[in-house]
Amino acid sequence: MSSASQRIPVTLLSGDGIGPEIIAATRRVIDALDAPFEWDEQPAGLGALESHGDLLPSCTLDSIRRNGLALKGPLTTPVGSGFRSINVRMREEFQLYANLRPARTIIDGGRYEDIDLVLVRENLEGFYVGYEHYIPVGGDPKAVAESAGINTREGCRRIAEWTFDYAVRHGRRKVTIVHKANILKLLTGLFLETAREVGERYKDQLIIEDRIVDNCAMQLVLNPWQFDVLLTTNLFGDILSDQIAGLIGGLGMAPGGNIGKDAAIFEAVHGSAPDIAGKGIANPSALLLAAAMMLEHVDRHDSAERLRIALRATLVEDGVRTGDLGGSATTEQFADALIQRL
C-alpha cells in the first residue's frame, strides 16, 4: 500500500442518474487495485443545483483546480432552461484543450473485430465557442440564426503537437488529419495547414495523411482498420468519436479524457440514463476504462494494464456482463467479479 505522502488526490464527481452507481462500483475496483488515489468527493450536476444553486459550485471548481485531476460520472445539463453545458464549462474553465477518445474492441463477435483507434478532438474552439445570435426580419425575432466558428493558429498548433507527441509516445503508426477544408476553406483550412506544418517534424516517425470528414465517416464504416490516430476539430470530433464508439459496441464501452496543461478530467462519455437510475443494472465499463486512462496519465501504466486485462477477462472469459451487454449481472455483481479477477 502506498504511503500517505504518495497518495494522489482526485476530485470525484458522482454526477446524475446512474452516475452514483457506476462511480461507487469504479471506486471499489480502483481501491481493490491498490491505486494511489485519495478521493475528494464534490457536488456537480442536478444534485449540486439543488444543494448549492449551481451545476458546478465553486467548491467543486476549487477542488479540481487544487488537485489537477478528476474522475466524473455523467452530468445532466437541464434542457431549455438557459444553462450552458456543464462539460463545456469545465473544459473552458480549466482549458482542457485535448479530448482523448480511444476505442478498442473488448468483446468479440460484433460487426467489427480488432478495433484499436484513438481520436483526438480539439476541445475549445470551432463552432463550440458558442458565438451565435438571431437576426430579426419583419415581425419574426428569430427569422435568421447565425453562428460563428473560430479556430486560432495557436489552438491548432497546440492540439496538433499534443496529438503527434501522443502518437509517438504510445507507439502508434499513423495520424490522419480530418477536416472540411474543401468547403470551410478558412476555418478548417487553418487547422489542416497548421497540423501539416507540425507534422513535418514527425514525418520520420509517423505516416501522416488527411481526409475530408464525410469521406472519413464513410471509410470508418467500410474499413476502420486503415486508421490509427485521428486528429480533428471540435464539432467533427464530437460526431466521429461517437461513430467510433459504435464500432466497439456503443458508448457503454467508450471512455474519454479531457486534458490541459494544468488539469485532466476523465469520464464515461455516455449519458446519465435516468430511465435505469437506481435499479443497480448500469454498466460501469466505460468509467472503469476512463479510470485506466487516468492511471496512465499519472504514470501508473502497470495498474492501468492490470485493470484492462481483468475487465476483459471478466467480460469475455467469465461471461459476467450487465444487461446492456447481454448478461444479467447487477452493477455490484459485475464489480465483485472484476475485483475477484484482480
Cite the active site residues.
Answer: 128, 180, 214, 238, 242
Q: Which stretch of DSSP H or E encloses residue 72?
A: strand 69-72
Q: Which residues pair with 41 in a beta bridge?
A: 12
In this structure, how many other beta carbons lie within 10 angstroms of the beta carbon of residue 54? 15
Q: Could you give the CA distance from residue 154 to residue 41 in angstroms, rounded to a whole number?
A: 35
Which regions of 213-320 does DSSP assign to beta strands (E)? 229-232, 255-259, 264-268
Q: Measuring CA to CA, which residue among 120, 107, 119 is closest to residue 248?
A: 107
Phi-psi group of 335: left, alpha or beta (phi > 0 → left; psi -120 to 50 → alpha; rest → beta): alpha
- In eight-state DSSP terms, residue 76 is P
Q: Which stretch of DSSP H or E encloses residue 283?
A: none
